[in-house]
Structure formats: C-alpha cells, structure tokens
Chains A and B, each alone.
Chain A
Amino acid sequence: MSSMRESPILQNHLPHDLVLNILANLPVKSVLRFRCVRKSWNSSITSPSFISSHLKLNGSLRLLFMQPDWIPFAPHRRQCIVICEHSFDRISKFDIPLTFTPRIVGSCNGLLCLEEGRDYVYLLNPSIGKFKRVSTSLPIPSPTVTEAATGFGYDSETNDYKIVRIIYHLWSPTPPPQAEIYTLKSGSWRRLHFPLAPDFIIKRMSSFMLPIPFVSGALHWMLHEGKGEEPPRRSFILKFDVNEEKFGMIATPFADTNAHCHPLAFKGKLALTEFEEHSLLNLWVMKEYGVHQSWTKLFVVPLLDRVHSRFYGCSENGLLILEKSNHFFANGKMRIARKCISIDIETLHERGVDGIGTQNLECEVNFMESLVLLDGADMVPVRL
C-alpha cells in the first residue's frame, strides 16, 4: 500500500501534535478507547489542554431528559435519556448512580450538577463515567422555612467550574439570605456577599425543576419579592457573573409581577418565557446583554390550555419542550395520555419526542458529551 517517497520527511508517520488534532475530532467513547493505544496517547488525552480542544470541536447539542426509573423499592432512582437535538435519535441512556432523588441544577460543557435537598451537590460527567460529591457548608437553621437556590456555571478565564448556592428564608427578612460559592479548582466553599436590601424578603426564587440558565457568563434566577401570604410585589432576574463572582439585577421587560416566567438561554442570549393566561407563551430575548431597551418579544407561541400541560424548557436552538396531555374517554372514564413534544419556536412545527415515553418526565436540559474532569482529582468512577 505504501508508495515510494523521494523525500525522507514525508513518511506515513504523523507527528504527535497532528495526531492530537485528529483525536480531538472523535466522540468521547472512541477517545476513551484509544487511551489503550500507547502511553503518550493516554497522557495527552487526559491533559487539560486536550480536554479543552476536544470540547471546542465536539459540542454537538443534545437534549437530556430525566425521569423516574420505576425500579421497585427504589423510588429515588432516576434515569437519563440523551437524544440528538436535531434528529431526536437516541444517543445514550444511563441511570443516575446516587442513592437519593436528584434534582438537576445545571448542565455545562458535559458536566451535570445535581443536588440532593440542601446538603449535597454532585458533579457528574456521564460520558466518561465519573462523579464527585461536594458537601455544602452553609448551615440551615430552620429547614422548614429555608430554601436553597443553586446554580452551576463555567469560568472561561480560569477554566474552572463553579457552583453557587443561595440560602434564603421564606417568611421573614431575618436571618438575611446568604450565598456561597464552590470552585472545582479550590475544592472548597467560600462565602459571597449577597447585596440585597436588609428588609428584602424573597418570596420565591426561580421555579421547581427548571435548571438555572448559564448564559453570557452568568447564572440567572427569577426572584420574586414580597411579604408573607401576599402575592409578590416585584420580580426581577438575579444574576451572578461567574468570572467576576458578583451579583447583579436585571429588570424584566414587563411590569407585571408575572409568576410564570422563567429565564433561559436562547442561541447564546438571555431569554425569558412569559406565559399569558395559559394560552400564549411569549419568548423575550435580551438582544444586548445588560441593556434593558434591548428586550424584544421575539416569538409568540399559542398554547392550548390543559393540553400543553407542562413546560420543561427551551433548547439552545429554540425547541420548546412541553408535555402534551390528550384527554379522552375510554371505558366510560376520562383518561389522560401524556407525551413529550417539541415545538419549534420559529416555525411552530410540533414533533413528538419519541422514546421519552409517557412516564413522568421531570426535567430537560441541554447537554453535550465531553471529556471534562477526565483529569480531575477525587473523582469516583461509576459504571453507567
């Protein structure tokens, strides 16, 4: 097969750095397999620079769905199904290997951040089968009226992953809300200054089950302020710049303290869903980050009350993920069949997300496969 070469330099032999260029194009599974080829490949593959260059080339968008596993005597078990964002082909399926009911806080560069109640946070890279447990440090004085809001993001300047937690009390301004931050590089928590007015009462932060969006280098929670049983007086977006480690405020484009709005990421921009009277979903996009006038109502999606029964999120490229309930009569009873659908926000084209099933879907996040944390310390290997 090899032909004669006149120049001795041009042999069928690629230098190591070109080999790495090639390897960086491979999917995670292949890369992991090729750790066995030779030692220099193994040490290159597990190096931070390779992990970063692989991430840049391999960021194919996926959608990850989490739902109960329905294993007898293990009601906490959850499984995740990963599908291609474009074709909806199934990419992988795995169980979350933990002994509690997890909640997905966020997903960043192929890492999932999961939390259990208020005490533990976990980082999991299911593509390489490694996870790390992080215990939180802020004390919870009154578990019944204390809530925790958590966010997970990536600091591009230091190539570090950060978890932010805000502990707040529902009915009184004292004790005041507290915040802490964990960085993967430091391996520890550190208090943060939480700069809200002393008489501020947080009524509610964000909404259950929807992950906190990480966009424009910041985390964003929906914060509703108000007193006790009254409806919220004011709502705004609390943001946290992950690089600068500072909190800030972003006002919503609408004056109403709408209880049904969620911040999310849309094509790399901060967006806000606004549900109008169960029949319309408006998507506002902040075209210029931080500029209030740039809030633009880009899309309006008609929804059917009681049919579009639950909103799970919106993918980076504008696929709304919803639950659709089909009410019908059978055997003299009213029954409901639920399924997971996507609606393209631009074309309004509806597609069934097959393979997710009619089980109770809990959560949907954007996802990608990566090697992140392959070089990490204190990672527990896990069989997925």
Chain B
Amino acid sequence: MASSSTSVVVSNKEKENKNTKKVTLKSSDGESFEVDESVAMESQTIKHIIEDGCANNEIPLPNVTSGILSRVIEYCKKHKEAAGESEPSVTSYTSNSTTNPLTEWDTEFVKVDQNTLFDLILAANYLDIKGLLDLTCKTVADMMKGKTPQEIRETFHIKNDYTPEEEAEVRKENQWAFE
C-alpha cells in the first residue's frame, strides 16, 4: 500500500486520460499513499481540496494515521470499482429496495477491533465518505444492541452523570425496554 519514497506531483492541467491521474495522500505519521484521483474523490473532503486547486503536491491528512488511511483507501478503491462495473439500477414495481452487491465484502471489512472501528468512523467523518460512515456507524450500533447502559458507558468511556434517583426515574419510565 505504501508508495515509493519519491512522491508524485499532481498536474493541475486537464488530462484526457483520467484513469492515470493520481494524487498523493499523506498520513499523520508521515507515510505517503499514491492513489488514483477518482478513488481519492470518494472522499468529499479530498474532492473539494482537489477541485479548489490546492492539491499541488501531497494532500496532508493530519487526522488520519497510516494504518487507518490504508484501510480507507482500500474501501474507496473497492467501492469505486464496483460502481464502475454495475449497471444502473432499473426502477421496477416488482423489486424491493436495491441490494448492495458489496454487502459481503463490507461485512468482512468491518471485522476489526473496536479501536480501529472507532478510528474508521472518525476518519470517514473527517474525510466525508458517506458510505463508509454509514457502514461503520451501523456496525457499532449492531454491537450495542443487546447491551446494558453500564456496558455502553464502558465501551464509550462515558461517566454517568445521573444521580441514582434520577437514573432510577428514567429507567422506570422505560421499564419495559429493559426486559
């Protein structure tokens, strides 16, 4: 995933062959990643930087470490490929909601430890990649479903700011949700 030590300068001139246009992304820990511009533009944040003409050398991403960035790039590549291959969906009265052909791949993609998952959420938010944000949020939600409030506090490192009486009252109001 890591590029060679020399970074590639992106030309701002219009090129006919968009397939070879590349950008370099630099992680917070100094690693450079060269990717196709079209893949990088899955991120709305990067898309705006490029469109504003500010992507002369590398695009620094101080909020994303190399480990996370490489995963994000993997996600964007895969989804960009799939978007290129699939036919436009035909509206049909008889089909239900469109199914995502990458569902299995996505499921495997998010099988990571909790820290990585949270970092992916933060990265997807910072880079504004809707699909990745939705996927990671939904994954965390699925993990949370059966848990108790105390378990949730531990997961998110949250302090309980209710007094015991206050908490008992809120709990009582929603008693049946605890059964």
Residues of A within 8 A of B (CB): 1-3, 5-7, 9-10, 12-14, 18-19, 21-27, 29-30, 32-40, 42, 129, 267, 285, 298, 317-318, 346, 381, 383-384
Contact = CB atoms under 8 A, between A and B. Distances in A.
A23 B141 contact: yes
Contacts of A18: 121-122, 125, 137
A36 B65 contact: no
A7 B156 contact: no
Nearest to A316: B96
Interface stretch (B2-10, B32-40, B170-178): B170-178
Given A5-B65, A12-B157, A39 B138 contact: no
A306 to B, nearest CB: 30
A285 B93 CA distance: 10
Interface in B148-166: 148-149, 152-153, 156-162, 166
Contacts of A10: 28, 63-65, 68, 119, 122
Contact of A33 (B29, B62, B153, B174): B174
Given A14-B156, A30-B144, A317-B96, A36 B137 contact: no
Interface of B: 28-29, 62-65, 68, 93-94, 96, 113-115, 118-119, 121-122, 125, 133, 137-138, 140-142, 144-146, 148-149, 152-153, 156-162, 166-167, 170-171, 173-178
Contacts of A2: 115
Given A7-B62, A35-B174, 5 more contacts: A1-B115, A14-B122, A18-B122, A27-B145, A38-B159
A165 to B, nearest CB: 32
Given A1-B115, A22-B141, A37 B177 contact: no
Nearest to A383: B176
Contacts of B146: 30
Residue of A5, A21, A129, A298 with most chain B CB atoms under a 10 A cut-off? A21
A12 B115 contact: yes
Main secondary structure of the interface of A (DSSP, over half): loop
Given A7-B63, A37-B149, A32 B174 contact: yes
Contacts of A129: 174, 176
B152 A34 contact: yes
Most buried by B among A19, A40, A298: A19
B94 to A, nearest CB: 5
Given A39-B162, A42-B170, A6 B157 contact: no
Which of B68, B133, B137, B142 has the most chain A CB atoms closer than 10 A to its own CB?
Answer: B137
Contacts of A40: 161
List the 8 closest pairs (A to B, CB-CB), nearest first: A25-B141, A32-B177, A36-B149, A32-B174, A7-B28, A22-B137, A37-B149, A346-B94
Given A38-B158, A42-B170, A298 B115 contact: no
A317 B93 CA distance: 9
Contact of B148 (A9, A25, A33): A33
Contacts of A346: 94
Nearest to A287: B93
A56 to B, nearest CB: 12
B177 A29 contact: yes
Nearest to B142: A25
A3 B177 contact: no
A30 B145 contact: yes
Most chain A beta-carbon contacts within 10 A, residue among B64, B160, B173? B173
A362 B158 CA distance: 48
Nearest to B173: A381
B28 A34 contact: no
A6 B157 CA distance: 20
Contacts of B174: 32-33, 35-36, 129
A9 B144 contact: no
Contacts of B153: 37-38
A281 to B, nearest CB: 17
A1 B29 contact: no
Contact of A26 (B28, B65, B145, B149): B145
A267 B93 contact: yes
Nearest to A25: B141
B171 A36 contact: yes
A33 B171 CA distance: 7
Contact of B170 (A7, A19, A35, A384): A35
B115 A36 contact: no
A12 B118 contact: yes
B141 to A, nearest CB: 4
Taking each of A1, A18, A23, A317, which has the highest tally of chain B beta carbons within 10 Å of its own beta carbon?
A18
